[in-house]
Amino acid sequence: MTYVATDRPRIGWIGTGRMGYQLAGRLLDAGHDVAVYNRTRAKAEPLSEKGATIVDRPEELADRDVVFVMVSASADLESVTTGPGGVLTAKNVAPGVLIDSSTVSTQVSALVREAAAKRGTDFLAAPVSGNPKVITAGKLTVAVSGPREVFDAVEPLLNLLGRGVTYVGEDEVARLVKIAHNVFLGVVTQSLAEITLLAEKGGVKRSAFLEFLNDSVMGSVFTKYKSPALVNLDFKPTFTNILLRKDFDLALAAARELEVPMPVASTTAQFVQAAIGAGHTEEDFATLILEQARRCGITLEPENVTVDDGLTPRS
């Protein structure tokens, strides 16, 4: 089955965590008919104020033209798609397109793609890069893989989610793109912690060093965005060490399968594990700087200064 694009497809959304809630809201704000399922119904119910229909089981979304999924892990994806009451288990009806924006293994993604095909449902893997503040700023990016003609048909919907949608190939390759991206996220953050504390132990304020770095050619949207956390030690979670560890595990497994040496990633994975072992499980993964400070023999204090994160929302 090849999905036929319509101007106003009926949309289903599964998973309204910190990311899914905002992204479903963007589709509602654009005027789309959206029905929403979340395991904890109360977390989805505020979307009804924007016009969403709230359902109690994923299978109630099976008659939708396009269904998005954004859940935490591979097991969750299997549960809401092929598990009891899953969106692919309803009798006599199945979605036109299933778009999964979770970060899961290529193996599970392939299994869900196969199950979708048996129901006549097209499947796209569409993991995203960003967090709630990135979404608010309109800077979310999406990597998509699957049948090109299906991507072309739903691209207008995907474009509503953020600023950049990239078709990267067939089958599950978008999963590898996202996993590689998140490895870089961890490696850069660990390196950023190391050089920032090198400067601090030599007498330079973190805010001054990061201002210089962010204004240089080595600065980036990401280093600027992470600077307030590193300067003021505000570790309100955008992405936890637990989730980062999961992505390192997926990446290193893929590296073994593809025979790709990843010595820097392997070492960084141990730093992430050390942060988890030290109890930094619920905070943001920027807590990597706390463990680096401990190894340096210094105790960090928040500088309590205003630091531009570069994510001013679009007016």
* pTM, 2 dp: 0.88
In Å, how far are 80, 96, 120, 190, 252 from 85, measured between CA atoms? 7, 18, 18, 41, 33
Using DSSP, state whether 9 is helix, strand or coil: coil
Residue 255: CB partners within 8 Å, gap ≥ 6? 261, 262, 265
- Ordered by start, the domain boundaries in the chain are 11-171, 179-296
> Which top CATH class is 11-171?
alpha beta
pLDDT in tens, the chain (315 residues): 556 566 789 999 999 998 999 999 999 999 999 999 999 999 999 999 999 999 999 999 999 999 999 998 899 999 999 999 999 999 999 999 999 999 888 899 999 999 999 999 999 999 999 888 899 888 899 999 999 999 999 999 999 998 999 999 999 999 999 999 999 999 999 999 999 999 999 999 999 999 999 999 999 999 999 999 999 999 999 899 999 999 999 999 999 999 999 999 999 999 999 999 999 999 999 999 999 999 999 999 999 999 999 887 544
- Nearest CA among 236, 210, 238 for reference residue 224: 210
Burial class of 85 by CB neighbour count within 10 A (0 to 12, 13 to 18, 19+): middle
CA-nearest of 27, 103, 26, 95 to 72 is 103
Give buried/exposed letters for 262-291 (b at 16+ CB in 10 A, else e). beebeebbebbebbbeeebeebbbbbbbbb
What's 179-296's CATH class?
mainly alpha
